[in-house]
Amino acid sequence: MIKVKKSLFHLMFVSSLFLALGGCAEKMEKEQGEETPEVMAPAQIVPVEQAKGLYDNYSERRLPMIQRYEDSINGYKEKFDVARYITYDYKTIKQYMAYIEQEAKKANVEISGLRIYFSNYPDKPVFDNGDSIQHPRQNSVLLSPSIRKGKRDHLFYIGGTDGESQAILLSDDFGEIQEMGMGHTDGDGTLSHASMLPNLSSANSNNTANSSFYAGSSMTMNRGSGSPPHNQ
């Protein structure tokens, strides 16, 4: 009787083992056979001929004005090469996207958009903080995420104290939101106010921003590689 029980136990064990192995094999075959879902093109994708037309429009309607202005600054001594595009390494873009998502998550906010701002480098070799300027006077772009508060999106940077991250809202020109004081968001997404900080004038374009207001981690990226067109 004991031998019979042992035989039945061994049989059940072996059967269970084969069933488990068979299930794993079936799961692996199914996973291997599954194809990655095809990504549909965003609605904002434009035909190549339309892209060409937009590029040509800029060449005809904007480039000459920039060219004349910059050449006049030089006293027409030399021709100014107007930048036509900004390049970021693809890995850098992926790293940037991962970074802003990480920092937004720490501050308990959700990124709603990614703004691309037109910008222009100053006519000097270095910034005030000592960073070099590779292309003085050239046009460039700024990449900066936004979050939705109320009925609109806001630029922001990450601040906070004692290890607690907070999203500090900014105006559309990267200044302090005048009517809201500091304008940071608490973890629950509500807007807080802090009037003890000095206000910044939105008309101030001389980069004399108050450093105490901007203390924190920036979410804005620049320093792409710009270049005038290269004819093939």
pLDDT in tens, 118-142: 998 888 988 888 888 888 888 889 9
d(CA 151, CA 166): 20
- For 183, half-sphere exposure in the C-beta direction (CA atoms, 13 angstrom radius) is 24
Nearest to 181 by CA among 148, 210, 152: 210
Residue ranges of alpha helices (H) inside the chain are 2-33, 48-61, 63-73, 90-106
| Global confidence as pTM | 0.67
pLDDT of residue 14: 45
CB burial readout 75-110, b (16+ within 10 A) else e: eeeeebebbeebebeeeeeeebeeebeebbebbebe
Q: How confident is the model at residue 114 (pLDDT cuts 50, 70, 90)?
A: very high
Model confidence pLDDT, tens digit, residues 43-94 = 999 999 999 999 999 999 999 999 999 999 888 888 888 988 988 999 999 9
Residue 1 DSSP one-character state: -
pLDDT at 34 over 90: no
How many Cα atoms sit within 13 Å of 92 on the Cβ side?
9
Return d(Cα 52, Cα 60) in angstroms, integer: 12
Q: What is the pLDDT of residues 136-176, one digit of tens each?
A: 888 889 999 999 998 999 999 888 776 788 888 998 988 88
Domain residue ranges of the chain, discontinuous segments joined by +: 83-204+212-223
d(CA 143, CA 87): 12
User: Among residues of the chain, what percentage have pLDDT more than 70?
Assistant: 65
| Phi-psi sector, 158: left (phi>0), alpha (psi -120 to 50), beta | beta
190-218, pLDDT tens digit by residue?
Answer: 444 332 222 323 333 344 455 555 567 88
